[in-house]
Structure 1
Amino acid sequence: MSNEIGPTTLPERVEPEVETRADGVVLRVRRNGGIVLDGVRLGISVDGVDLGMDSVSLRSRDREITDEWTARSGKATGVHRYVHHETVHELRHATGLEWQIHIRAGADGVAVRYVLARFEGQGRLDADHTRLTLAPDARVWALDYQTWYETPRFGADVAALPPGAYGLPLLVRSPRSGEFHLLTEAAIDGRFSGAHVEIRDGGQLRFALADESVEITRGPVTPWRVFLVGALATIVESRFVEELAPAADPSTDTRWVRPGRAAWSWWSDFYSGAQLHRQRHFVDVAARLGWEHLLIDCGWDETWVPEIVAYASRRGIQVHLWAVWHDLDGPENLAKLALWRSWGIAGVKVDFMESESKDRYRWYDTILAETARLGLHVNFHGSVIPRGWARTWPQVIGYEAIRGSEYYVFYQGTPLTAAHNVIQPFTRNVVGAMDYTPVAFGAPGRTTSDGHELALSVVFECGITHFADDVDAYLARPDAARFLAELAPVWDETVLLAGDPDHEAVLARRAGDRWFIGGIATGPARPLTVPLDRLTRGPAEVWIVADGADGGLTSYRRTVDDKLVVEVAVNGGFVAIVAAHGTALHSAVERPEQVAPRVDPPVQLLDPDGAAILRTDGQLRLPPGWSAEHLGGDRWRVRAPTALAPGRAGIITVETPGQDGVPIVAHARLFRPLTPGSHRLSALTMVGFENESGPVERDQSNGGGNPGDGRRMTVAGTQFDDGLGASTPSRIDLHLGGTVTRFTARIGVDDETPATGARMSVHADGVELFSAEVRAGEPPRDIDVGVAGASTLSLRADTLPHHPEPAHVDWAVGRLHRTGHTATTLAEQ
């Protein structure tokens, strides 16, 4: 005996049907009258009980959901309206436990969620039994499951697919109808564990939880299980995943979210994140190309980050910082976000989460809420796939969850293939922003053409597209630089023009009155024929950048009507800009330099009460715990928290309006004066530094280019536990404010750089007071330099003419001494 519930007919002609039978609950989906999904078994196990078996239908209720949201990034920004039909099926298991199956149908798919609306207390979700059988001759495009989704994607017939765990989204082509369905998830948060699919012999596919079991309470116990259905264009252009996600907090203003293009130095110059001068160069070229953002990866130091923020802001460029997830875990670590935001930072790239557990999703919840509160963009790397957060949390402008360009750097011998790239627009990028970091012209062992690499900038979508290569690599290819300058920062519309996951992908994205086309192919050289009927009516002007005969790029203009034919190389590609007659194909302009806010003085000591007077023509952004009182005119009294230790500084950010709504910033550094006594050098705030290899290290040798990679300082076998480790050439600047009488230290070349030498010198207010040549293997030298009345102190280390190679030097046991009553300070402890 069976009890059929449905179908519910929609104007869009996507019709889900649910049937309860003695052997289980089954879902069938029709589209335009034809069956596109059949025999989808539904159910879950709670506390060891399989609710999908031995349940009876109690009742069902229907409602229509009409809603809208404003997308700040993605395939199509602006207001998006949609209509869903939802049916709630209420069932009772033989044990008496009541449960629900919620079915949502939209224009391009169906979603299933399980709910325990009357559940008492706590229980365990042991398994998700949602499953279906794939035909042996069906074709799937999948990737081996990994919690950070960085294995290669590939296509295979089901009969040849090894049993195992596979990641979402998973694309399937029906052998009967030729239509497609894509499986994924939506609307996840810290109540749930993530899911993947397991495929067994015979094509049995089931959803599987990342956690072995999940603690549950009353309400939804799974995210939405999503089945997009239809032609490839329907799937590629779908926004169903975002439609299923919860709405953003209506009281939150997200107009500050700014999609765009970013310069990023890490890929081409691994240790450049520690080099202020390199970041300035990337800002300069980004401004020349009109880009909006700069990402500084590992190696940045709080000493100079405010300086690059100020430098970039004068060109309308916002700065983002990289961090590891566990460095933001817990209340004390989470407070770093507010500190960084106070410097004028616009966003964070958070890395290495590498988990889909419920516990990790709770961490995501915390980061999402805090970045939204602070007004910080967030880009997740080593992360889960998108599941609709672009709607709920519009500040999320990127996820990795893709085998991207970093695999050229970290994983030699596992190159990125054109076939892997072509699959992405039909799978991974369907569900949301994908930070592949494209356009890697300098990739070692690359098998894709230059045209293919350039086309990834259009074919792949991310809220902020971080270009992989050195900015100079783009300038060296004028056609590429010109196109990347024209490339729109945000999209109004996205359409699939041609292709399939096994051969090529040609997408068009509209920005205003121009269409940007990107085409990538795998396989032999050939012409790609691109229909233009969805873009333009009648003749249009096109500028094309494609594979050249010499292996580089070539560009040309032409007038086209209903189609475009472009020759591509082996594993090739192309880009194009299409505009109606009379519309300019090119409109990019360089970002002008703007005037910085006035801050007087930019560096000063706080008075004994912890206050200082600043004069400025802008508004203040304060670090946590600081306060400010406007005294009228251009005068502000700023006060430090009592916890600020002697020799430490607060960074006060001054902002004035700039272009594109990006404030122009400058900074003041306010230092707590040193108390009488001796103060450990490594505990004090530096005004600035320059260092040949990575950051200046505190209480360890310089090590390599990464922060915190030094060892115990050792000079000729003598070890030291505190001081500063640097590398020639280097300069360390400190603010004394006229309060310090002497500087003492034990100096020398660290044993980690044998057979090297350096000239180490001490300068006060620009005057050299001490210098000495030191060489590896020589015992540490004791120095005692008088600096009474000096405002600034500079510690320098330079190469020697006969020792041009970098030497790692130690300013060990460095102390600043102030005369008067000796007191133990926080800096000394």
Structure 2
Amino acid sequence: MVNEIDPTALPERVEPEVKTRADAVVLRVRRGGRTVLDGVRLGIRVDGVDLDAGSVLLRSHDREITDEWTARSGKATGTHRYAHRETVHELRHASGLEWQIHVRASADGVAVRYVLARLEGHSRLDADRTQLTLEPDARVWALDYQTWYETPRFGADVADLPPGAYGFPLLVRSPRAGVCLLLTEAAIDGRFSGAHAEIRDGGEARFALADESVEITRGPVTPWRVFLIGDLAAIVESRFVDELAPPPDPPADTRWVRPGRAAWSWWSDFYSGAQLHRQRHFVDVAARLGWEHLLIDCGWDETWVPEIVAYASRRGIQVHLWAVWHDLDGPENLAKLALWRSWGVAGIKVDFMESESKERYRWYDTILAETARLGLHVNFHGSVIPRGWARTWPQVIGYEAIRGSEYYVFYQDTPLTPAHNVIQPFTRNVVGAMDYTPVAFGAPGRTTSDGHELALSVAFECGITHFADDVDAYLARPDAARFLAELAPVWDETVLLAGDPDHEAVIARRSGDRWFVGGIATGPARRLTVPLDRLALGPVDAWIVGDGAEGGLTSHRRPVDDKLVVEVADNGGFVAIVAARGARLHRAVERPEQAAPQVDPPVQLLGPDGTAVLRTDGRLRLPPGWSAEHLDGDRWTVTAPATLAPGRAGVVTVETPGEDGVPVVAHARLFRPLTPGSHRLSALTMVAFDNESGPIERDQSNGGGNPGDGRRMRIAGTEFDDGLGASTPSRIELYLGGSADRFTARIGVDDETPGTAARMSVHADGAELFSVDVRSGEPPRDIDVDLRGVATLSLRADTLPNHPEPAHVDWASGRLHLHHDTATTAAGH
């Protein structure tokens, strides 16, 4: 029998009390007439002075805070109303400095923050002195602290917990107080640095700042220090962290935020982010399963991103792109977000921030404000834990801050454990969206059952759930595919049905009139008996997918009265769809294909004045710096900025209404004609490319499957500074529109693939103009091809019958030449 949740338990009033002594300021919390938290020392050190020692209480005043907010994603979407009681304690230190302690109380916890309301100028916050002593017989569930929160979570008795730094949220079960306590923080921004728990001998736990010292000004000088208090169900279901966060300022229409499910190819195929055909396949299966999103991880290229955005949009699927944080740091880099949004990209996954410093939080502030302005979803990886941004910035639909499925791939010496998984719903996932990337059937060396893996899709919550495995791995397991097609994209309600952090977690999430139940267990095979009282449905029908007797998955449908009884394997799990007796349990439908907008012509040259005329039946989304004027009917004049270089193109997006509020898009590429002279091939915009290994590389060899992983181009020992690096088979398409006379290059097999050979050829408007067989070790070949009158140039490299292995080839020192000005005629092409 699993640990049951008492459905009759009602939240009791939480009553905090602050007392001052000569040497300390102390917080005590009572709940239901009994003390549940006592001896919590409050205070801060400012400019080397401990304000909590030697302060007197001047006055205290109370106020009721009632508010509401609308959650777009999370454990319970919709409009939530709440009431907090806040007490402001005003104190004066012996030095004359006045400071405040703000204390908030709700039905499920207490929060404290420190304020210097009358501070003149700047000071330094040297330490947060908030500290409590854990009961010696208490049990904690913790993780060793690092700024990106990816160490394993574990359970330990306080007596056995070594001193050290531990990350939030930290869960404590206090047997004497008879409650559980979750420590974390809320409402952080670029005014603050983050904090973590530092536990010393004797069970003393304090809030420790990430920065040794933080510059502060008038107003709040710390985020809220949060103490969730209650039974496990109250903690798991709490929204207190989000309630403490400020509302959006100014208020914004965020109905465009779209929770859901995402296909993601990187985990199962590292280099697939560079392969357009692989991304199309993931879109096709995602549409079949009814999912909403596609994440393209490392390797995507601006050449074909508009194409996959258009392809996915016809099935109602939105595309998100991966980026490294420092590539979006600073005004020039930040401008990339507006460019990507102009292509129709719906969101970003930004990675490797790995810092809790005030400086990094100021970077977060910038990214949050800009993505909100542009209408981009954000998924933070290599990141801090959630601290309430789901309310302030509803476009944030995920954070990593979890040792998730990628650890099967990169860190097999420290694999994921079922015990680590079971702890998450009681700790990390309490405070917000958790991008664990679940359901990794193909994980090497995993000890979880298939039922456990599938159940992570429900037990773990993220605004957009990115499924780890290859989509074909799901199709190969029909029960899994059917369940993941049914899985709701958004939740109306979340409840803990049963469990505890050491044994199992059974979570139920409601969408409409259906409940989705996910149970994960650690330890030996056993029978789980799960009460359904809290669903308040009466007799129900349930479709259950769980562990098969011989491994794999098994499913069945049966009527249930008041309990689910499920057999789970070692480290097993199960999922279920539950609804009132007689209700339809399965409702998934494939996403239909919609017609693309009309745009004519899809590729053209700009005229001498930098303008072009487009005909379209949709509305335009323009790149930054571009403008458009409606002429009449379906005609628009589009104008490029003067900064657009010759041979470069802007992508104009055309949108028409689609399903689920997602526009269907198509694109036009408008090129600045070449000017007289020579133009470096690698500086020009490609219309399209195919490449066997990774993207086409600019000014370096092909390298491996990742972008930017090549070396200096080298053919038979001769090195080159510029050109395009490719791998057989490959195709590079460029649009000239008749604005070039000649193409010259030095070509051959790069020295990084010895013993290989290829056929390299040049094609114009579908006709081959030149071809040659090249072999490694041969000196570069000089080519000079006449391009007069050519609209589309194609550079190809193919394998040879006796050399089927990929060869890396270089189009080194490639140049397009124009001897006379064609600008006056180019616009007519």
Q: TM-score range by the shorter chain?
A: over 0.9
State the alpha-carbon separation in 2 of the partners of residues 597 and 217 from structure 1. Answer: 53
State the alpha-carbon separation in 2 of the partners of residues 11 and 482 from structure 1. Answer: 38
Counterpart of 1:356 in structure 2 is 356
State the alpha-carbon separation in 2 of the partners of residues 53 and 91 from structure 1. Answer: 11
Counterpart of 1:606 in structure 2 is 606
Query: Does residue 299 in structure 1 map to residue 299 in structure 2?
Result: yes
State the alpha-carbon separation in 1 of the partners of residues 404 and 277 from structure 2. Answer: 27
In the TM superposition, 1:460-539 aligns within 5 A as 460-539=460-539
* AA matched with 1:403: R
For residues 211-260 of structure 1, the C-alpha deviation after alignment (integer angstroms, 9 at most, x for no partner) is 00000010000000000000000000000000000011353110000000
In the TM superposition, 1:243-282 aligns within 5 A as 243-282=243-282
* AA matched with 2:366: T
Query: Does residue 457 in structure 1 map to residue 466 in structure 2?
Result: no
For residues 153-204 of structure 1, the C-alpha deviation after alignment (integer angstroms, 9 at most, x for no partner) is 0000011001000000000000214310000000000000000010001101
Query: Does residue 316 in structure 1 map to residue 278 in structure 2?
Result: no
Residue 412 of structure 1, CA deviation: 1.6
* AA matched with 1:658: G
Counterpart of 1:370 in structure 2 is 370
Counterpart of 2:641 in structure 1 is 641
Counterpart secondary structure, 1:252: coil
- Answer whether contact 2:19 2:25 (CA < 8 A) is retained: yes
Residue 583 of structure 1, CA deviation: 1.5
Counterpart of 2:751 in structure 1 is 751
Counterpart of 1:705 in structure 2 is 705
- Answer whether contact 1:677 1:822 (CA < 8 A) is retained: no
- Answer whether contact 1:700 1:722 (CA < 8 A) is retained: yes
State the alpha-carbon separation in 1 of the partners of residues 217 and 768 from structure 2. Answer: 70
- Answer whether contact 1:181 1:228 (CA < 8 A) is retained: yes
* AA matched with 1:17: E
Counterpart of 2:109 in structure 1 is 109
In the TM superposition, 1:817-828 aligns within 5 A as 817-820=817-820
* AA matched with 1:279: Q
Query: Does residue 742 in structure 1 map to residue 737 in structure 2?
Result: no
For residues 416-454 of structure 1, the C-alpha deviation after alignment (integer angstroms, 9 at most, x for no partner) is 000000000000000000000000000000000000000
For residues 525-564 of structure 1, the C-alpha deviation after alignment (integer angstroms, 9 at most, x for no partner) is 0011110011133211000000001210000001001111
* AA matched with 1:691: N
State the alpha-carbon separation in 1 of the partners of residues 550 and 651 from structure 2. Answer: 52
Residue 135 of structure 1, CA deviation: 1.5
Change (3 A) 1:90 1:120: same
In the TM superposition, 1:91-170 aligns within 5 A as 91-170=91-170
TM-score normalized by the length of structure 1: 0.98
State the alpha-carbon separation in 2 of the partners of residues 315 and 100 from structure 1. Answer: 55
In the TM superposition, 1:494-643 aligns within 5 A as 494-643=494-643
State the alpha-carbon separation in 2 of the partners of residues 303 and 371 from structure 1. Answer: 22
In the TM superposition, 1:190-339 aligns within 5 A as 190-339=190-339
- Answer whether contact 1:750 1:808 (CA < 8 A) is retained: yes
State the alpha-carbon separation in 2 of the partners of residues 533 and 251 from structure 1. Answer: 39
State the alpha-carbon separation in 2 of the partners of residues 141 and 67 from structure 1. Answer: 32
Counterpart of 1:442 in structure 2 is 442
Residue 414 of structure 1, CA deviation: 1.1
Counterpart secondary structure, 2:678: strand
Counterpart of 1:826 in structure 2 is none
Query: Does residue 778 in structure 1 map to residue 766 in structure 2?
Result: no
Query: Does residue 54 in structure 1 map to residue 54 in structure 2?
Result: yes
Runs of 4+ in 1 over 4 A off after TM superposition: none
Counterpart secondary structure, 1:534: helix
- Answer whether contact 1:678 1:822 (CA < 8 A) is retained: no
Change (3 A) 1:822 1:291: closer
Counterpart of 1:763 in structure 2 is 763
RMSD: 1.1
State the alpha-carbon separation in 2 of the partners of residues 551 and 679 from structure 1. Answer: 61
In the TM superposition, 1:379-398 aligns within 5 A as 379-398=379-398
Q: In structure 1, list runs of 5 or more residues that go unmatched.
A: 1-9, 824-829
* AA matched with 2:479: D
Counterpart secondary structure, 1:119: coil
State the alpha-carbon separation in 2 of the partners of residues 419 and 93 from structure 1. Answer: 47
State the alpha-carbon separation in 1 of the partners of residues 609 and 23 from structure 2. Answer: 77
Q: In structure 2, list runs of 5 or more residues that go unmatched.
A: 1-9, 824-829
Counterpart secondary structure, 2:242: helix
State the alpha-carbon separation in 1 of the partners of residues 821 and 390 from structure 2. Answer: 58
Counterpart of 1:800 in structure 2 is 800
State the alpha-carbon separation in 2 of the partners of residues 178 and 702 from structure 1. Answer: 62
State the alpha-carbon separation in 1 of the partners of residues 817 and 558 from structure 2. Answer: 73
Counterpart of 1:4 in structure 2 is none
In the TM superposition, 1:339-350 aligns within 5 A as 339-350=339-350
Counterpart of 2:4 in structure 1 is none
* AA matched with 2:339: L
State the alpha-carbon separation in 1 of the partners of residues 354 and 788 from structure 2. Answer: 53
State the alpha-carbon separation in 2 of the partners of residues 177 and 29 from structure 1. Answer: 11
Residue 12 of structure 1, CA deviation: 4.5
State the alpha-carbon separation in 2 of the partners of residues 751 and 412 from structure 1. Answer: 33
- Answer whether contact 1:536 1:580 (CA < 8 A) is retained: no
* AA matched with 1:298: C
State the alpha-carbon separation in 1 of the partners of residues 291 and 576 from structure 2. Answer: 19
Counterpart of 2:85 in structure 1 is 85
State the alpha-carbon separation in 1 of the partners of residues 538 and 718 from structure 2. Answer: 80
Change (3 A) 1:339 1:223: same
* AA matched with 1:732: I
For residues 477-514 of structure 1, the C-alpha deviation after alignment (integer angstroms, 9 at most, x for no partner) is 00000000000000000000000000000000000000
- Answer whether contact 2:537 2:579 (CA < 8 A) is retained: no
Residue 822 of structure 1, CA deviation: 12
- Answer whether contact 1:198 1:206 (CA < 8 A) is retained: yes
* AA matched with 2:575: V
- % identical aligned pairs: 87
State the alpha-carbon separation in 1 of the partners of residues 589 and 188 from structure 2. Answer: 41
* AA matched with 1:573: G
TM-score normalized by the length of structure 2: 0.98
Residue 749 of structure 1, CA deviation: 0.1
State the alpha-carbon separation in 1 of the partners of residues 175 and 567 from structure 2. Answer: 31
Counterpart of 2:3 in structure 1 is none
Counterpart secondary structure, 2:533: coil
State the alpha-carbon separation in 2 of the partners of residues 352 and 178 from structure 1. Answer: 40
Residue 471 of structure 1, CA deviation: 0.1
Q: How many residues align?
A: 814
Counterpart of 1:44 in structure 2 is 44
State the alpha-carbon separation in 1 of the partners of residues 374 and 822 from structure 2. Answer: 41
Deviates more, 1:349-358 or 1:129-138: 129-138
- Answer whether contact 1:677 1:821 (CA < 8 A) is retained: no
Deviates more, 1:411-420 or 1:235-244: 411-420
- Answer whether contact 1:171 1:427 (CA < 8 A) is retained: yes
For residues 356-386 of structure 1, the C-alpha deviation after alignment (integer angstroms, 9 at most, x for no partner) is 0000000000000000000000000000000
* AA matched with 1:632: D
State the alpha-carbon separation in 1 of the partners of residues 127 and 22 from structure 2. Answer: 20
* AA matched with 2:385: I
Counterpart of 2:6 in structure 1 is none
Change (3 A) 1:822 1:68: closer
Residue 413 of structure 1, CA deviation: 1.6
- Answer whether contact 2:36 2:178 (CA < 8 A) is retained: no
